[in-house]
Each structure stands twice: as structure tokens, then as C-alpha cells.
Amino acid sequence: MKSKIILFDLDGTLIDSTEAILESFAVAFKTFGEEVPSEDLIKKEIGYPLDKMFQTLGVPEDRVWDYVDAYKMHYRQISCAKTVLLPDASEAVQLASQIATLGVVTTKTAKYSIELLEHMGLMHYFDVLIGREDVINPKPNPEPIEKALTKLPSDTNEIWMVGDTCMDMLAAKAANVASVGVTCGYGSVNDLTSCTDNIYQNSLEAVRFIANR
């Protein structure tokens, strides 16, 4: 039995799907004849659930799910072709699998997340994947982490959350789980410094840190 559990965020932690996300947001806004927000504004919201992102970007609450549907219709067509693994992410997952039981906790739709990880040859390393549709309260609420842990061995000595934003770190803290921030994604170093003591450049460095604990 492995003595550790490592939970990974997805976007900005293991994968870079920025191109697919930006293109799908543009399609959603254009579908309803609206001006597309700047790429910088959209990037600032990546990591939040889609409905929250659209609301922050000015979509009225009663129209949000129409935009989400338009986004998803396009995203599912391009996600695999326009998403790449971040540098050293594959090595990070392989190393992590040697020392820990692994899971993914993401605000992305679980169905698309699984398809992406299968496309990249990594899904078989993970024992659980919790996506947006699996919970009522997404990160930074602890519910996604807590739900993932109910599906994993309960006799482990250490549990870690690896992510690129304070949402991941705050969810970990609320779930009483240790955290490691990575700077290869969407969260700034200043933000991460405010919400975790452990910050590394990428997921491989984060896993090496965890392995040596």
C-alpha cells in the first residue's frame, strides 16, 4: 500500500489548454452576437467553473448556461487537438505514481478531462477524477477534494494537493490537506505565496519535493 495520496489540478498544472479555452470563449460570445472579452480578461478567470467565468465576464445570470453550452459544443471538437501537456508533466505523473495513489481534482468537466488524459496516455495512472459535474461546490470549497478522498485508500500517511492557483491551495487547506503550488499555470507567484508555503516551477519539481518529505 502506498503511503501517500497526490491530487493534481489539471489546467495550468498538468496541461495547457489555453488555446482551446480562448477559442471556445470567443465562439460562445460570437454565437450570441456579443463582443469577445480580451484574452487577458479570460485568462485571469481560468480555473473557475465556466458559469462563474461567464458571469465575471459580463454575461447575465439568466443567460450563463446558454453560453456554457455554446462553449462546450465547440470545446469538445477541438480540446484534444489544441491541448498539450505542460513540460515535464508526464514525468511528474509517472514519478508520482511510484510513490503515491493519484487523483485529479478539477473544475473542468470530468468527461472532457478524462478524454484529454486518455488522449495523452496518462489516465491509467489516476484512481479517481473529480470534475465540475461531480460536486455542488467547486474549489476553493473543499468538497471536490473530500469527494476524491472518499474513493481512495483511507490509511495513507500524507495527502497532497498540487495546483497552480490559490483556489487549489485554499481547497486543500479547508480539506486539511497539504498543498504545493506550481508557477507554470495561471496563478501568479505573489498570489501563491499568500496561500501556500510550498511553491515550485512545475509539477515534476512539486512531486520531487513530496517524494523527499
Q: Please give the positions annotated as active site.
A: 9
Burial label, 9 (beta-carbon count in 10 A; 0-12, 13-18, 19+): buried
Query: How far apart are the C-alpha atoms of 64 and 8, rounded to whole Å?
Result: 28
Query: How far apart are the C-alpha atoms of 33 and 50, rounded to whole Å?
Result: 19
- Strand 178-182 relative to strand 15-16: parallel, antiparallel, unpaired? unpaired
**Residue 54 contacts by C-beta under 8 Å, 6 or more apart in sequence?**
28, 64, 67, 68, 71
Q: Which helix (H) or strand (E) holds 4?
A: strand 4-8
Beta strands in 127-190 (DSSP E): 128-130, 158-163, 178-182
- Phi then psi dihedrals of residue 59, to 5 deg: -80, 130
